[in-house]
């Protein structure tokens, strides 16, 4: 296939490898994200989806065109779920890279998926071909770089896992989330806050709330 098409396959394959590995490494968070997205059978999906993504990552390197077709169908399904979530007004993270704390689904999430669809389209354009040794070396380098970046990202997440008990104490299931607590430890206000204005509104409501 053309160099541009194969480059699209490599980029998409690296992203699928990243996403699939991250979901498996953080399966509990993936299940929580899928439940927030109101997907049925969240626990089985938390295994099936990342395995599908890892399979597509391999397929996009070895047999780009067939894998690109499956990728387009998969991305269309993902995008439909995200669009439904955005339309319903739910404040839920997509869990696309293994963590629900990447912020709630927004128009930006749909735009990102559109770019992934473009990459799949590039991989689809051209003749199906098994890449030669040089192409495999390039693909291996791309996957290796993605793996290093993922390892660094997971390490940073691990440093923040000490806050999980705090999140559970206040029943926080998605971010960004604000909990206003007074000096006595009483919760005076709480809620999703996607902007500074929303944070200020929550704080004003907390200050105005009567003391119980």
- 53-92 pLDDT per residue, tens: 999 999 888 888 889 999 999 999 988 988 888 887 777 7
Q: How confident is the model at residue 9 (pLDDT cuts 50, 70, 90)?
A: confident
What is the spatial distance between Cα 121 and Cα 54, in angstroms, rounded to a whole number?
Answer: 19
184 burial level (CB within 10 Å; 0-12, 13-18, 19+): exposed
Considering only the C-alpha atoms of the chain, give the largest distance between any 2 of them, rounded to a whole number of Å: 72
pLDDT of residue 65: 86
* For range 96-106, the mean pLDDT: 61
> Which of 206, 207, 180, 176 shows the shortest CA–CA distance to 193?
176
Q: Compute φ and ψ for 130, nearest 5 degrees.
A: -85, 125
- The token pair that represents 75 in the structure block: 């991305």
pLDDT digit string (tens) for 157-186? 443 445 566 666 666 666 667 788 777 777
| pLDDT tens figures, 21-50 | 888 888 888 888 888 888 888 889 989 999
Please give the span between the terminal C-alpha atoms of the chain, in angstroms, as a whole number.
69
More confident site: 119 or 152: 119
Q: Is pLDDT at 120 greater than 80 in this prediction?
A: yes
Residue 116 banded pLDDT, cuts 50, 70, 90: confident
DSSP state at residue 83: H
Spatial separation of the C-alpha atoms in residues 27 and 180, rounded to whole Å: 30
For the chain, what is the mean pLDDT? Answer: 74
| 206 phi, psi to nearest 5 deg | -65, -40
> Given its phi and psi angles, is residue 151 left (phi above 0), alpha (psi -120 to 50 degrees) or beta?
alpha
* Kind and range of the H or E run holding 47: helix 42-62
Give the contacts of 68 (CB within 8 A, at least 6 positions apart): 9, 12, 60, 120, 121, 123, 124
């Amino acid at each position: 296939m053309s160099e541009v098409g194969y480059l699209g396959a490599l980029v998409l394959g690296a992203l699928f490898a990243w996403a699939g590995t991250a979901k498996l490494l953080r399966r509990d968070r993936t299940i929580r994200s899928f439940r927030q997205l109101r997907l049925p059978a969240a626990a089985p999906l938390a295994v099936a989806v990342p395995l599908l993504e890892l399979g597509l990552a391999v397929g996009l390197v070895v047999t780009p065109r067939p894998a690109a077709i499956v990728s387009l169908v998969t991305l269309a399904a993902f995008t439909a779920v995200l669009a439904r979530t955005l339309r319903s007004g739910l404040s839920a993270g997509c869990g696309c890279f293994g963590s629900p704390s990447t912020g709630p689904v927004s128009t930006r999430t749909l735009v990102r998926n559109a770019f992934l669809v473009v990459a799949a389209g590039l991989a689809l354009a051209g003749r199906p071909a098994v890449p030669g040794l040089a192409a495999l070396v390039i693909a291996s380098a791309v996957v290796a770089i993605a793996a290093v970046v993922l390892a660094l990202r997971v390490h940073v997440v691990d440093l923040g896992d000490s806050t999980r008990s705090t999140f559970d104490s206040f029943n926080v299931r998605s971010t960004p989330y604000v909990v206003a607590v007074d000096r006595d430890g009483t919760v005076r206000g709480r809620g999703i806050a996607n902007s500074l204005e929303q944070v200020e509104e929550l704080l004003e409501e907390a200050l105005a709330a009567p003391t119980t």
